[in-house]
Each structure stands twice: as structure tokens, then as C-alpha cells.
Amino acid sequence: MLCLVWIKTLKNNFTAVYDLRYGANSSGFGWNSENHVVTAPRDVHPGASKWQTTAMPWFTELCTIFGKDRTTGNLAENLVDVVEELNTEAADELSVQEAQPVTHSDESTSMKKRKRGNADALLEAVYAASDRLANQFEASTKLLIAAEEDMREKKKQLNQELSKIPELEVLQKLQVAKRIASDEDLMILFFEAPAVEKTVLVNAILNKEI
């Protein structure tokens, strides 16, 4: 039997986003193609808030996978329907075969082959989209790990860099180090700044101007 749970969940999420973008009540909604989220004032549709923060980078692929007709706005016979029907037919055939031999007509067999062929094609599209998502996730994970490693190295070097600033007392150095280490943007700003600007930045932190 083909598993439908994850496909149905994916379809439900896709349908919700599609209706916000192209449905009858889509006025006021937009799409952020960079972050792959719905954009809209919160007072337009409170129920859309989830999709303003939850990205769906595979939306275009799902349009193909689930056979959404953009002209009519109707779902054609889609992956879930086809697979569910095939599962039902397979279960029925198994029950009948256990009871007695059955001779199928050529027409019935041909129709089932076509349906299974459609399901196989749609499943291939799902797997292709899944592979793409997996690759994107792997690439994002590598970037995240690299960024975290870079931050760890900067934290190790922070005390040494602060020691280069003249007339900075030990307690002041610890206070500044704690402040910079707790703020990633401030850490990047500090390490990218030339020596003179580092001193200005440190004084601003000590004076609570930053």
C-alpha cells in the first residue's frame, strides 16, 4: 500500500497557501519570492499569519504535483485521489483473489494500468521535489554549521583583539567581551572594523550608547 499521510498533509498546506494566492478572496495578499512566504496586512486575514512566517519554497513544484488548475481554481484528479483509489482497488482485488479466481476484462486492466501509470508519474514528481528539498536543506545546514564555526572562532579571538585596545581595564574588557559575544551582529561589526573604529565601538559599548 502507498502511504498517504504525508502526501495529504503536504496537499493541505499547499492548498491553504494556493487559496491565499489565487483564491476568490486573495485580494490583499502577495508573495515574497525570496523568503517563499505569503505577505499581507494582518487585518486582511488573521488565519494567514501562519503562512506569513512559514516558508513553502517548493510551492511551484507542488502546483505541478497536485494538478492545480490556475484558470478554474479546481483540483484535477490528483496524486492523493489516484493513489487512494489504487490502494482501494488493490485491497479489493486481494480480497476477491483470496475468495476465488477472477478473470479481468482487457478494458478494466488497461484502465488500471493507465491509473497506475499516472500515479507513478506523480510520485516521481513528488520524489524529485523531495530530493530538491533535501539538497536545499543539506546546503542550508552546511552554511549554518560554517557560520556557527566562524562565530566560535571569533569568540576565541575576541579577548585577544580587545587586549590590543590601549587603556582598557580588565573589568571593562570583560564587560565588552560579554556584550559583543551575546550579539552576533555586533561581533561581525567589531571584527570587520579597523583598529580605530574598534576603539570607538568599545567606548560606545562601555558608555551604553550601543
For the segment 37-64, the average pLDDT, to the nearest whole number, is: 72
Q: How confident is the model at residue 119 (pLDDT cuts 50, 70, 90)?
A: low
Distance CA 110, CA 47 (A): 45
**Rounded to whole angstroms, what are the CA distances from 95 to 98, 108, 163?**
5, 17, 80
Bigger pLDDT: 29 vs 190? 190
Whole-angstrom distance, CA of residue 67 vs CA of residue 64: 5
Residue 147 near residue 181 (C-beta atoms within 8 A):
no
pLDDT at 196: 92
Q: Which residue has the cell 545546514?
A: 141
Mean pLDDT of 107-121: 60
Nearest to 59 by CA among 33, 23, 25: 33
Q: Of the ranges 68-77, 81-90, 113-122, 127-136, which one carries the lowest mean pLDDT score?
A: 68-77
CB 67 within 8 A of CB 75: yes
In three-state secondary structure terms, 76 is coil
Contact 10, 62 (CB under 8 A): yes
In the predicted model, is pLDDT for residue 92 greater than 60?
no
Q: What Rg do the C-alpha atoms of the chain give, in angstroms? A: 29
Could you tell me which residues are beta bridge partners of residue 31?
Answer: 38
Is residue 209 predicted with pLDDT exceeding 80?
yes
Q: Of 1 and 184, which is predicted with more confidence?
A: 184
- Write out the three cell numbers for 8: 495529504
pTM for the whole thing? 0.37
Q: Where are the domains of the chain?
A: 5-138, 164-206
pLDDT, the chain, mean: 73
Residue 30, φ and ψ in degrees, nearest 5: -130, -170
Residue 12 confidence (pLDDT): 77
Give residue-wise pLDDT tens across range 134-174.
676 677 677 778 888 888 899 889 999 999 998 889 999 99
